[in-house]
Amino acid sequence: MRVLVMMSGGVDSSVAAALLRDQGHDVVGVTLKLWGGESDSGCCSVSDVDDARRVADRLGIDHHTFNFADEFTTHVVGPYAADHAAGRTPNPCIECNRHLKFDAVDERARALGFDAVATGHHARIVERPDGTFRVARGADRAKDQSYVLHVLDQERLARTILPIGHLTKDEVRSLAAGLDLRTATKPDSQDVCFITRREGRGTFLGDRIPLTPGRVVDTAGATVGSVAAVELVTIGQRKGLGLPGGTAPRYVVDVDRTTSTVTVGGPSDLLVAEQPVDRLAWADGPVDGPVEVQTSAHGSTAAATVRTAPADPGRAVVVWQEPHRRVAPGQSVVLYQGDEVVGGATATD
């Protein structure tokens, strides 16, 4: 089988390419050039392309670079800024997976005659008895990335290989060391590749959208602090709110963009019985009954059911079995049964 392996310049994708090569596949590596600006995160820099190319050379496979910078700006960076301006907290890595890594790349791979694409994600793809596919958790629960892959539909799942999903991170590094790959001890990259540690999120967004100062009030409406930009505030946030020290922890429980007001409260004020969502998509058809719901990339799950709207199947309400922290609008809400992803959606107000 001809397999196009997305090589980020990290250890996971390096070992993914090596495993596929050793299984006898015709493997070609590709590194995506996504961000044309400065990057120091370890996934979009020039050094990462060089690391991927040198690993490919070590493995004896061809290596190419695909430039999707325009598509990345259109589908990831632009919406990231627009979401913040609208008071949402986006997941840029998920949108990159949705539009670039498992859409644009797959289309390019088809055109070039590849049978499948592969990545170094810590997750698995399982085929069910009825022939449908699902994303499942990887063997290393601490590194599991099934949450960010919930956007894969049946067509993409059928053409995707995740070679390291059965391995722990330590096992991946051990294999890389045994192959004398330069990425064996390379640190993992941070999530948002287009925001540098030096400039930070505030500077990045301030160059692209208006930032509005706001006041911070308690649940009774009394002013207790201030923020430099309400667009940078998210539900559940505790720091950077201008609150006096020596008091009980307070968290953001609401952000009103129309009045530039941030409301803070105690942990119990974050708890809700239901969470509305949109962009609901099932892995292989709607699931009845209880599900386990994960609301952050490496968070725990909580039991819930999903109440759908017949008139609009893309919208639904997650009904928590026990009161749960409100999810920031824009964040992904991923549904599991056991280790398998059965669906996913985006939190709304």
96 is catalytic: yes
93 is annotated as an active-site residue: no
Q: Which residue has the tokens 């953001």?
A: 252
Neighbours of 341 (CB within 10 A): 24
Q: Which helix (H) or strand (E) holds 93?
A: helix 92-96
Q: Which entry of 43, 44, 93, 193 is annotated as an active-site residue? A: 193
Backbone angles phi, psi at 146, to 5 degrees: -60, -30
Marked catalytic residue, from 43, 44, 93, 96:
96
Question: Are the CB atoms for 117 and 158 separated by under 8 Å?
Answer: no
Strands 332-337 vs 340-347: parallel, antiparallel or unpaired = antiparallel
Is the backbone of residue 318 left (phi > 0), alpha (psi -120 to 50) or beta? beta
Query: Taking the alpha carbons of 156, 157, 161, 164 in that order, is the dihedral positive or negative?
Result: positive
Angle at 44 between CA 39 and CA 48, to 5 degrees: 110
Q: How far apart are CA 97 and CA 147, in angstroms?
A: 11
Nearest 5°: the CA angle 18, 24, 28 is: 55
Residue 15 dihedral angles phi and psi, to the nearest 5°: -70, -35
The C-alpha atoms of residue 337 and residue 321 are separated, in whole angstroms, by 15
Contact 52, 35 (CB under 8 A): no
Annotated catalytic sites, by residue? 96, 193
